[in-house]
Structure 1
Amino acid sequence: MKKINFSFIMSVLFVILLIFISVLYPLILPFDPIHYYDLHYVNTGPSKLHWFGLDDLGRDIFSRILYGTHITLLISIISVIIGATIGSFLGLLTGYYQNYFDILIMNICDILLRLPNLFLALILSVFIKNGILNLIFAISITNIPIFVRITRSNTLIIKNQDFITASRNIGSSNIKIIFYQILPFIINSIIIYSSMRIGISIIAVSSLSFLGFGIQPPTPEWGLMIYESRYDLLFSPHLIIFPGLAIFITYLSFNTISDKIKYFLNLNKRY
């Protein structure tokens, strides 16, 4: 009997809980995260009524973290889906055809990959307006190059296999070969890196909001909550500890899941 991986189970349960919160947050919020104010107990610590305490405006931190969950997950997951879809499509085409289009796309990807993800997202955020859709756009751009690279390298390996040569000889179209014969062999790597990039995208969302280029007040977002409480760290550390833990545990959970998915799919032995 195989030993149960406790960290993986806890990570899956935590991610399921986050998804549950993201979908049902309007029904489970104990207080209004934006318009509820208790000015008599500002900056007070955790209590029976307010589990994570109150911030400097008397707003319930627990409710604000729950509300921020759906924003952070929504932006991160959608940006990874967009980046993986566009990047994988470009990677398949460039790896299969290897023409001038391949040279152009790979040169662009090389430039983008030389820039740190957060720095690239920050540059894009400077030139676009603040908001959820624009934040999704900025982070999606940072995800595309890595999926192009991964998909292209795998396509170069698969397209030289004997069964692909046989398919060409019997008259199969390039589109059929790319999407029905090559893609199924590299879908595992796309899934693995997608789960990994969600954690990275969560850090990017929180970091951009912390720097003032992401979600704007009064909308609760984990990174923004840390930014708003930065001057109260010494006297009210709970204002930063709880949103910081939300970011850390969520990032760690997605990374743990991606590592275990890689183990289950046994990607390194597929070829």
Structure 2
Amino acid sequence: MTTTTTRPEAPAAARPARAARPRPGVLFTGLAAVVLGVAAAAPWLLAPADPDAIDLAATLQPPSPTHWFGTDEIGRDLYTRVVHGAGQSLTIGVGAAAVALLLAVLLALAATLAPGPVATATDRVIDVLFAFPTLLLALLLVSVLGPAPQTLVVAVGVGVAPGYARMVRAQLLGARRSPYVEAATALGHRRTRIVARHVLPNALRPLVAVFALSVGQCVVWASSLSFLGLGVAPPASEWGALLEAGRAYVTVAGWLVVLPGLAIVALAVTATALGRALQSHLEPGE
């Protein structure tokens, strides 16, 4: 009678670790981010033609191997204009996100760390601004300051800021009540040192992910204002301006609206996915 002996399994610690395979969603997001980055920084690599070149013999042509995204009402190549418009849209989105987060941090600091009357007044200001819809607040600012790319950055940034200010304020309150801050206070450290070394770094850490998330949101709001005729003026190829120019031909040349709209959606989804990935990476214990 033959007996078979089984080799004991190696303990888990001794087993060779398998290389983590990147998920398809992560690869797709990374590829989309690279393409958008190249389109914004060096659009001539993807579309070497002149985005403002007019060809009246090729007006309103549908997508084809010659014109991938078709042409507009005066024969300009829509693919070239979408690629060259990525830099304008992304610049406005990044600028508005930076304005929003800077204003949010300043308001949250004043509402949390300032003396009592100042903190209360700032808290009420945040609540009043938060009560306004983002688009309405941005519309009011654009109406006062006039339509321009710089105005668009400020208007969208101010419109988005109140929501982020409430979030940052909650982060600051949580960090201020944390055990390590209580320990530093018990040890007699100065308040300014506690705020600079403990409260701010821990409270503002999530803003890296929030910034990525807000870029896509700001691009959508800025494109909405341009679509309403209150943003970047023609002949700029900013994506919202392309939507505004193409809506007059939506029944005969739907690609003039659909394809720039898909570009806005792609940027917003990519920014959101990057923000979610950063958020999960920065969470404690990850």
TM over 0.5: yes
Of the candidates 137, 140, 165, which is equivalent to residue 148 of structure 1? 165
Counterpart for residue 229 of structure 2 = 212
Given that 2:58 and 2:75 are in contact with CA atoms closer than 8 Å, whether structure 1 keeps it comes out as yes
Quote the offset at 1:156 in angstroms.
1.2
Asked if 1:254 corresponds to 2:271, the answer is yes
Quote the offset at 1:255 in angstroms.
1.5
Moved more, 199-208 or 173-182: 173-182
Given that 1:54 and 1:61 are in contact with CA atoms closer than 8 Å, whether structure 2 keeps it comes out as yes
Of the candidates 119, 128, 132, which is equivalent to residue 136 of structure 2? 119
Q: 1:44-100 CA deviation, whole Å, 9 max, x = no partner?
A: 012233221110011110111111100110011111112212312331342234621
Higher relative contact order structure (alpha carbons within 8 Å, sequence separation ≥ 6): 1
Asked if 1:75 corresponds to 2:92, the answer is yes
Cα distance in 2 for partners of 1:3, 1:117 equals 40
Coordinate RMSD, CA, aligned = 2.0
Given that 2:110 and 2:122 are in contact with CA atoms closer than 8 Å, whether structure 1 keeps it comes out as no
Of the candidates 170, 176, 180, which is equivalent to residue 197 of structure 2? 180
Identity within the alignment, %? 24
SS of 1:137's partner is: helix
Moved more, 144-153 or 56-65: 144-153
Paired residue total: 268
Amino acid at match of 1:7: G
Amino acid at match of 2:109: L
Moved more, 174-183 or 123-132: 174-183
Instruction: Please give the residue correspondences for 1:230-241 in structure 2 after superposition, counting only pairs within 5 Å.
Output: 230-241=247-258
Asked if 1:94 corresponds to 2:111, the answer is yes
Which structure has more helix as a fraction of its residues?
A: 1
Instruction: Please give the residue correspondences for 1:50-69 in structure 2 after superposition, counting only pairs within 5 Å.
Output: 50-69=67-86
Counterpart for residue 15 of structure 1 = 33
Provide TM-score, normalisation by structure 2.
0.86
Counterpart for residue 217 of structure 2 = 200
Cα distance in 2 for partners of 1:79, 1:229 equals 25
Gaps of 5+ in 2: 1-17
Given that 1:147 and 1:190 are in contact with CA atoms closer than 8 Å, whether structure 2 keeps it comes out as no
Given that 2:103 and 2:158 are in contact with CA atoms closer than 8 Å, whether structure 1 keeps it comes out as no
SS of 1:229's partner is: helix
SS of 1:50's partner is: coil
Cα distance in 2 for partners of 1:116, 1:8 equals 33
Gaps of 5+ in 1: none
Moved more, 129-138 or 92-101: 92-101
Instruction: Please give the residue correspondences for 1:162-173 in structure 2 after superposition, counting only pairs within 5 Å.
Output: 162-173=179-190
Quote the offset at 1:27 in angstroms.
5.3
Given that 2:50 and 2:80 are in contact with CA atoms closer than 8 Å, whether structure 1 keeps it comes out as yes
Change (3 A) 1:59 1:236: same
Quote the offset at 1:116 in angstroms.
1.6
Asked if 1:191 corresponds to 2:208, the answer is yes
Given that 1:96 and 1:156 are in contact with CA atoms closer than 8 Å, whether structure 2 keeps it comes out as no
Asked if 1:6 corresponds to 2:21, the answer is no
Quote the offset at 1:171 in angstroms.
4.2
Given that 2:62 and 2:255 are in contact with CA atoms closer than 8 Å, whether structure 1 keeps it comes out as yes
Counterpart for residue 221 of structure 1 = 238
Higher-Rg structure is: 2
